[in-house]
Structure 1
Amino acid sequence: MRAIRPAVLAAAALGVALSALGGAGPAAAGAKAPAATHGLAAASRPAVEPVEVAAPVIVARYTFDAADNAANGATVPDDSGHGHTLTSSAGHGGKVRLAERLTGRAADFPARCAGKKCPHAVLQAPDAPELNPGTGPVSYGATVRLTKKDTGSGQNIVQKGYSASGSQYKLQIDGAAGHPSCVFADATVHAIHVAMSDVSVSDGAWHRLECRRAGTTLTVLVDDAVHGTAVLPAELSVVNTVPLSIGGKGNGNDNDQFHGTLDDVWIARG
């Protein structure tokens, strides 16, 4: 993903000169401009400069390529330069291992387990203001690989906050069918809003997943194509003090563990 810089909104003022005889301002739309009077040239209208729209800014990105191979994914630097370093939080012997790819490394999470004390592990970064989008536009995503045998009732990929308390944005893969979905919730609206993909990604291949909030529209994209949308209340705001969590919702037995491999995890504002 290329670096994105903020753009500056610009607008040009329209100037119209009045005639020396106390004439009125600009003519109505569609009317012919008056001719010059007593040698005074008619005022010319300057060209209007184009308005640039602010582009999204990457506030966190994890390629796992610079992760410490000796620590086996225990610490993952933020490649965006914003300092949101991930550290591992695990239980019952769970680990996040680094997997080699042709283009670098990826993060391999604990495999599916049917026991009561299954290994679990997540990567987390402390809360920071720029990770809380409020009611503004935000997008986030990851490249994932998940096999059919590793699907489950719900596997969280990217998560900030909880739907049961406070507020939340999340990317997950739902059910045995392996359909990705995007989730938003807050403590004011008291509802969970889900944009569910109409295609599965549990085929053992790599897939690019993205969630996009723009105004009142929540969109889920799979391999850069739109595969589901949902309507969000305009006032739905996501601001919380919960850590950013990758690969599950937290360090607990029922943590909605992701059981596949992740790469190129990112969050963008604007």
Structure 2
Amino acid sequence: MVVAGTATAAAARPTGTARYDFDGPAPLADVTGHGHDLSPVSRNGGTFRTVPHNGGTALAFPPPCQKEPCPRIALRAPATSQLNPGRRPIRFGAAVRLAADQTTKGENVLQKGYSIRGSQYKLQIDGLAGRPSCVLVDDRRPDIHAAISSVGVADDNWHTLECRRRGPRLTILVDDVPRGRATLPADLSVSNRIPFSLGGKGSFADNDQFQGMLDDVWVEIS
């Protein structure tokens, strides 16, 4: 089990469909070799910096901003059907570090698609308590299905987060412990032509900017 303050289980994560460890000379490369490399999109000076973590590096996103124009940044991989699970089982997750003063009403860790159009899978951290959740939205019906963690992670320690969809069940795990579940339509399908993004929806206003540290992001579609 991973304990707070570490993320040693990241090395045991499956190679999967896409994975980003943010190490080496090309920190935004997809280390699976599948070519889902990331590129930043930013506005108002938004950028990331690398910070030491677990013998490698993690990414630190812009700190909280109370007055516009605020720096914004997201990291995007080009739209591809290879990152669309459809109705298949999918797992995705990341290691995160977020302090109590870095929480907002909504921060997006990773996502593909939007809830209002085109279907979606997403990992987010919401509210002052910093409670993570997993979200799935069907490509035909706009209902939002969320598995919300019963515990928060905004304690300035590293935590691993994982979302698991298998058939009609969506589960969120925090440090390898199941912390919330949701029931899905068995035929729920996620398929869209929207880029895969880390750290926010994009660089526009109200982009649900992630404000903490991020490492070992991965997606596995069975």
Taking structure 2 as the reference length, what is the TM-score of the superposition? Answer: 0.92
**For 1:1-270, what aligned pairs fall within 5 Å after superposition?**
1-2=11-12, 58-68=16-26, 76-270=28-222
Kept in 1, the 8 Å contact 2:159–2:175? The answer is yes
Q: State the Cα distance separating 1:3 from its structure 2 match.
A: 7.3
Q: Deviations over 1:11-35 (max 9, x none)?
A: xxxxxxxxxxxxxxxxxxxxxxxxx
- Aligned counterpart, 2:6: none
Q: 1:253 to 1:220 in 2, by over 3 A?
A: same
Look up the SS of the partner of 2:33 in the other structure: coil
Q: Distance in 2 between matches of 1:78 and 1:102?
A: 19
Look up the SS of the partner of 2:153 in the other structure: coil
Look up the SS of the partner of 2:16 in the other structure: strand
| Unaligned ranges ≥5, structure 2 | 1-10
Larger Rg: 1
Residue type of the alignment partner of 2:204: G
Look up the SS of the partner of 1:149 in the other structure: helix
Q: Distance in 2 between matches of 1:231 and 1:3?
A: 25
Kept in 2, the 8 Å contact 1:96–1:122? The answer is no
Q: Distance in 1 between matches of 2:46 and 2:52?
A: 19
Relative contact order, higher structure (CA 8 A, sep 6+):
2
Kept in 2, the 8 Å contact 1:67–1:77? The answer is no
Kept in 1, the 8 Å contact 2:23–2:57? The answer is yes
Look up the SS of the partner of 2:145 in the other structure: strand
Q: Distance in 2 between matches of 1:167 and 1:67?
A: 34
Q: State the Cα distance separating 1:66 from its structure 2 match.
A: 2.0
Residue type of the alignment partner of 2:40: S
Residue type of the alignment partner of 1:113: C
- Percentage identity across paired residues of the two chains: 50
| Unaligned ranges ≥5, structure 1 | 5-56
Moved over 3 A (4+): 1-4
Q: State the Cα distance separating 1:190 from its structure 2 match.
A: 1.9
Residue type of the alignment partner of 1:144: V
Which of the pair is proportionally richer in strand?
Answer: 2
Residue type of the alignment partner of 1:264: D
Q: Distance in 2 between matches of 1:124 and 1:59?
A: 15
